[in-house]
Structures are given as structure tokens and as C-alpha cells.
Amino acid sequence: DGGITQSPKYLFRKEGQNVTLSCEQNLNHDAMYWYRQDPGQGLRLIYYSQIVNDFQKGDIAEGYSVSREKKESFPLTVTSAQKNPTAFYLCASRGAGSEQYFGPGTRLTVT
Amino acid sequence: DAKTTQPPSMDCAEGRAANLPCNHSTISGNEYVYWYRQIHSQGPQYIIHGLKNNETNEMASLIITEDRKSSTLILPHATLRDTAVYYCIVRGHNNAGNMLTFGGGTRLMVKP
């Protein structure tokens, strides 16, 4: 069953803690992306990676970090430096075509 | 990448065609028009894209005006499961990383 998986679906953390969100794909896609979505808003790009061991900042990278050690995996760490971490986080991947395929998302709540 | 303008919400009767408009008056010659939709609390789903010719696939049709300043996504026979937010996105051919910029979209409500 091919696709993109994000886990967990819901995540709760205390303020001041770092938290890592998982994103895995078995589509053999080179490019992967992380977006953030706030209620009633569109998606905003946090980081993206076009190839293993390489990644670039998106529009709102401050307070986040990523790694791309394997083609299949692109984990996102929400650090304590992110001022408003509560949001819906979406991971996507892209193959040879131009369209992106999205995972089901992780809803992070920080209190 | 060119900015897009969409109505914030629309209603459609089940079984009828849903026509979702998008204005992109500042689009340049090498920019494509993409449509995605997002059903509540799920990840966005790719629908269709085009450059200047009309496009059709199993999900929808995309009609782009001759001057390319606007486009319409058509769902020919809307069902209740088509209720979602529909995003029109313009992306440049030279957009490094193929990044997408999502605006507010149109919230389509399909009613029985």
C-alpha cells in the first residue's frame, strides 16, 4: 500500500518541550515538504528537501528543524523556540511530476 | 508566483455541476494553474493542473481563459463527498523546489 504516513494523528506536549513529527513515504519520491496550517487558513511552507542530505527553509522555518538522512523519511522537530506551535502539520512528497501528494497530517497541541 | 483570488465560499446542489472560479490576472507565460482540495482535517489532494489548454481527468475539468487571467474548475456531477476547500494555485515553471503557495481557497458546500 503506497503512500505517505504521518504519525501520530494527534500529539500533545507541554510548553518548552521539543517534539518530533514523523513523515514516511514509500513512493520513491525525491522531494519532500512540511507545511503548517492554522484554523481557517491555507498552508504555509516550513521546510522542503529535494534530495537526501539536503533541505531548504521555507517561508516560516524559524523554530523548526528537519533532517533528511533517508529518502523515505523527513522528520520535523518543533523546538521550544517556536512561539505558536499549536497547529495542523502536513507533510507532502513529489516525484518526477509536478504534483505534490500529502499525508493525513498531525494535529499538534502545546499547552 | 502570481497571486490568486477565489470566492471564500460557494454552495452547489448534489448532482449538479460545481463551477469554481479563480482569478490570476498577474499570471506570466510560464506559470501553471494547479487545483487542490482539502476535505476537513485531511491532507490536500491534487486535482488537476494546466498551462493554457483546457484539461480534463477523472476528477474534474479545468477551463483556462484565452488571456489566462482566470480559470474555472468544474466538478461535473457534485456529490456530498466533494464538500471541501478548493485551492487554486499558480506556480512558476522556474519555481525552485516546486513549492506551492496556498491562499484561503473556496469552501464548497454540496447540499442534498
User: How far apart, in whole angstroms, are the C-alpha atoms of residue A105 and residue A21?
Assistant: 10
- Cβ–Cβ below 8 Å for A99 and B34: yes
Mean pLDDT, residues B14-29 taken together: 94
Q: Mean of the pLDDT values across residues B18-34?
A: 92
A42/B102 CB distance under 8 A = yes
Question: Per-residue pLDDT tens for A15-25?
Answer: 999 999 999 99
* Per-chain mean pLDDT for chain A: 93
Least CA distance to A89: which residue of chain B? B43
Per-residue pLDDT for B77 more than 90? yes
Report how far residue B11's alpha carbon sits from residue A110's, in angstroms, rounded to the nearest whole number: 35
Q: Looking at the predicted structure, is the pLDDT value of residue A1 above 60?
A: no
**Structure confidence by residue, pLDDT tens digits, A52-106:** 999 999 999 999 999 999 999 999 999 998 999 999 999 999 988 888 999 999 9
The Cα–Cα gap between A71 and B75 comes to 35
What's the rounded Cα separation, in Å, for the pair B85 and B101? 15
How are beta strands B9-13 and B106-111 bridged, if at all? parallel
Please answer whether residues A38 and A58 qualify as being in contact, where contact means their C-beta atoms are separated by less than 8 angstroms.
Answer: no
A74 touches chain B (CB under 8 A): no
Output the CA torsion A2→A106→A45→A73 (10° steps): -40
d(CA B45, CA B36): 5
Q: Give the per-residue pLDDT at B93.
A: 62
**Any CB–CB contact under 8 A between B104 and chain A?**
yes
C-alpha to C-alpha distances, A82 to A6, A35, A38, A41, nearest whole angstrom: 20, 14, 14, 19
State the smallest CA–CA distance between residue B103 and chain A in angstroms.
5
Q: Percent of chain B, pLDDT > 90?
A: 76
Measured CA to CA, the distance from residue B61 to residue B55 in angstroms comes to 6
Give residue A93's Cα distance to chain centre: 10
Q: Tell me the pLDDT band of B1, cut-offs 50, 70 and 90.
A: low
Residue B97: which of A35, A44, A48 has the nearest Cβ?
A48
Q: pLDDT at residue B55 above 70?
A: yes
- Which residues of B fall within a CB distance of 8 Å from A101? 46
Confidence of residue B96 (pLDDT cuts 50, 70, 90): low
- pLDDT (average), residues B16-28: 95
